[in-house]
A and B are shown apart, each in its own frame.
Chain A
Amino acid sequence: MFDLLGVPPQVLFGQLLLGLINGSFYALLSLGLAVIFGMLNVINFAHGALYMVGAFVAWLLLNYLGLGYWWALFLAPTVVGLVGMVLEKTMLSRLYKLDHLYGLLLTFGLALILEGAFRHQYGVSGQPYPIPDLLKGGQNLGFMFLPNYRGWVVAASLIVCFGTWFAIERTRLGAYLRAATENPVLVQAFGINVPVMVSLTYAFGVALAGLAGVLAAPIYQVSPLMGSNLIIIVFAVVVIGGMGSILGAILTGLGLGLMEGLTKVFYPEASNIVVFVVMAIVLLIKPAGLFGRER
Chain B
Amino acid sequence: MRSLLLAGTALLTLTSGAAHAQMSNDVIRIGVLNDRSGIYADLAGEGSAIAARMAAEEFGGKVAGAPIEIVVADHQNKADIAASKAREWVDTGNVDVIADVPNSAAALAVQGITRDKKRIFLMSGPGATALTGAQCSPYGFHWAYDNYAMAAGTGRALYEQGKKNWYFVTADYAFGQSLEEETTKMVNKLGGKIVGSVRHPLGSADFSSFLLQAQGSKADVIGFANAGADATNAVKQAAEFGITQSGQSLAGLLLFITDIHALGLPAAQGLMFTEGFYWNLDDQTRDWSKKFEAKAGKKPTMVQAGVYSAVRHYLKAVDAAKTDDPDKVAAKMRELPVEDMFAKKGKVAANGRMFHDMYLVRVKAPGQSKGPWDYYDVVKTIPAETAFLDPALSGCPLVK
Interface residues of chain A, those whose CB is within 8 Å of chain B, are 11, 14-15, 18-19, 21-22, 119, 123-128, 130-131, 138, 144-145, 147, 149-150, 219-221, 223, 225-226, 229-230, 261, 264-265, 268-269, 271-273
Known: A124-B39, A230-B205. A221 touches B233 (CB 8 A): yes
The chain B residue with its CB closest to the CB of A226 is B205
Contact B208 A268 (CB under 8 A): no
CA distance A11 to B236 in the complex (A): 21
| B200 CB-CB contact with A under 8 Å | yes
- A residues near B241, Cβ cutoff 8 Å: 138, 145, 147
- A residues near B41, Cβ cutoff 8 Å: 119, 123-124
| Cβ distance B300 to chain A, nearest Cβ, rounded Å | 14
- B residues near A11, Cβ cutoff 8 Å: 212-213, 216
The chain B residue with its CB closest to the CB of A149 is B240
Q: Which of B230-272 contact A (CB under 8 A)?
A: 232-233, 236-237, 240-242, 246, 258-259, 261-264, 266-267
The chain A residue with its CB closest to the CB of B37 is A119
CA distance A273 to B204 in the complex (A): 11
CA distance A226 to B264 in the complex (A): 18
| Cβ distance B257 to chain A, nearest Cβ, rounded Å | 10
Known: A123-B42, A220-B205, A230-B205. A268 touches B229 (CB 8 A): no
Contact A219 B237 (CB under 8 A): yes
**Contact among A145, A225, A271, A272 for B242, CB-based, below 8 A:** A145
| B210 CB-CB contact with A under 8 Å | yes
Binary interface profile of B, 16-57, with partner A (CB < 8 Å = 1, else 0)?
A: 000000000000000000000111011100000000000000
| B161 CB-CB contact with A under 8 Å | no
Contact A125 B212 (CB under 8 A): no
Interface size on B, residues (CB 8 A): 40
CA distance A257 to B387 in the complex (A): 43
CA distance A126 to B206 in the complex (A): 15
- A residues near B213, Cβ cutoff 8 Å: 11, 264-265
Known: A11-B213, A271-B201, A272-B204. A223 touches B229 (CB 8 A): yes
- B residues near A126, Cβ cutoff 8 Å: 229, 232, 262
CA distance A220 to B237 in the complex (A): 8
| Cβ distance B74 to chain A, nearest Cβ, rounded Å | 13
Q: Which of B296-348 contact A (CB under 8 A)?
A: none
| Cβ distance B187 to chain A, nearest Cβ, rounded Å | 21
| B78 CB-CB contact with A under 8 Å | no
**Contact among B199, B236, B262 for A125, CB-based, below 8 A:** B262
The chain A residue with its CB closest to the CB of B259 is A125
**Contact among B198, B203, B228 for A229, CB-based, below 8 A:** B203
CA distance A93 to B344 in the complex (A): 64
The chain B residue with its CB closest to the CB of A218 is B240
| B181 CB-CB contact with A under 8 Å | no
| B209 CB-CB contact with A under 8 Å | yes
Contact A268 B199 (CB under 8 A): yes
- A residues near B69, Cβ cutoff 8 Å: none
CA distance A255 to B395 in the complex (A): 50
| B172 CB-CB contact with A under 8 Å | yes
- Residue from A125, A131, A273 having most chain B Cβ neighbours under 10 A: A125
Binary interface profile of B, 185-207, with partner A (CB < 8 Å = 1, else 0)?
A: 00000000000001111011110
| Cβ distance A129 to chain B, nearest Cβ, rounded Å | 8
Contact B229 A15 (CB under 8 A): no
| Cβ distance A6 to chain B, nearest Cβ, rounded Å | 13
The chain A residue with its CB closest to the CB of B263 is A128
CA distance A271 to B200 in the complex (A): 8
**Contact among B172, B215, B259 for A269, CB-based, below 8 A:** B172
**Contact among B37, B38, B43, B240 for A131, CB-based, below 8 A:** B240
